[in-house]
Structure 1
């Protein structure tokens, strides 16, 4: 008489368990890669914060950078798919002919191929700015304040990394479009200047320059919100 084998408990066979484990492992791995890609996309979508001020930076830099580095800045400059990659003080000093150093109150942001700089000047008025640049100036009103525009050439650089060494040399640059707006409606008492240029051969978006001015300038501490005398609105 043959001893009766105990009945097997219902459940998966060994082969089925192996297949199930493999499937589960594949699901976990796929989930890991999806999560990783999502995090990488989130990192790319995150705009750069303003760099902390260094000891020799303008004391006004933090406020200027905070005003310029807005969440909607890519949309304002016409590159809504890009994000701010660099936000910092830009040029913090310049040296005069007599060797003295002067602080420059400015902040600079880069979005894709577009760079934009905001500068505050206590001495330069709108009329003073009209000696700058290589193109004809155009006076207009920005938020009721006298303003002027001009263009300035930029210097490009090309780099060679071949032959085990790197070297740089000047190359044809682009053109920066500049908008100088008086702190006060009459264009006097100092000014703010916005400059926009591209790192490639493209042309800056002048409309974007005015959109940035309209959004940023009223948030600055030195901005005079009063309205202008209509007699100042004629081009000159």
Structure 2
């Protein structure tokens, strides 16, 4: 039987900044017991869904996640995947992207967490795929500051101030997995994906740990315009619950 290759598009996204950010911390964590992305699927999950052209806007769930918020530090506002979804689910999304008239083709995400040092650190995320762009919005609740992150990320990562908070703007790539199916087994190979532009912004102005990560990539594999990303972030981030009250 000849090998049949299949590209798994549902895995076509880069890890959020927390997973890439401190390389030293990642190595230490791996040696100490591993760093692993835990899929915390529950009633609040946003399953990957296709949206027909006639269906209109996406529909975010209003259910409350269970279990995940218990690891959030006292005094920190937890923003769930559903709330991230609501932030992206706005009528002017395509206008902000410079592609007015387009509709969402699919969306998904969930209240995931990162397992590190025996603890599950909440890392909810949601993504929306449109004809021209895909947009991903994520939050992390670790203790790592954003300041200094650019040195650890390397490449073209640059620190900046965004909406009065420490931030880092950098390039990344999405990830696609190609499955080779044949008699008696198969292989899984990684393949380069889309060029992604990402903006990581501290959860609060004091940069006390935790961040929001918003990223975009184009379906035609072209490099996204930073102006589009920054315009989108400037409109979406302030709408997140607790944004104005964190100090």
| TM-score interval (norm. to shorter) | 0.5 to 0.7
Larger radius of gyration: 1
User: Cα RMSD between the aligned structures?
Assistant: 3.6
* 3-state SS of 1:130 partner: helix
**SS across alignment from 2:204:** coil
For the pair 1:218 / 2:238, whether they are aligned, the reply is: yes
* Higher-helix-fraction structure: 1
TM-aligned CA distance change 1:205 to 1:67, over 3 Å: same
Residue equivalent to 1:108: 127
Using structure 2 for the length normalisation, give the TM-score: 0.59
Residue 74 of structure 1, aligned match among 77, 88, 94: 94
Contact 1:57 1:103 in 2 (8 A): no
Q: Is the 8 A contact 2:102 2:131 kept in 1?
A: yes
Query: For 1:65, what is the secondary structure of its paired residue?
Result: helix
Q: Is the 8 A contact 2:163 2:234 kept in 1?
A: yes
Which of 146, 154, 178 pairs up with 1:126?
Answer: 146
- Higher RCO by CA contacts (8 Å cutoff, separation 6 or greater): 2
Say if 2:196 and 2:216, in contact at 8 Å, map to a contact too: yes
- Per-residue CA deviation, residues 127-185 of structure 1 (Å, 9 max, x unaligned), is 25325544232222322222211222222345789xxxx98743322222111112323
* 1:188 positional shift: 3.5
Please list every run of 5 or more consecutive structure 2 residues that lacks an aligned counterpart in the other structure.
1-51, 70-79
Between the aligned partners of 1:137 and 1:43, the Cα distance in structure 2 is: 37
Q: Does 1:147 align with 2:167?
A: yes
Q: Distance in 2 between matches of 1:155 and 1:44?
A: 30
* Counterpart residue number, 1:172: 192
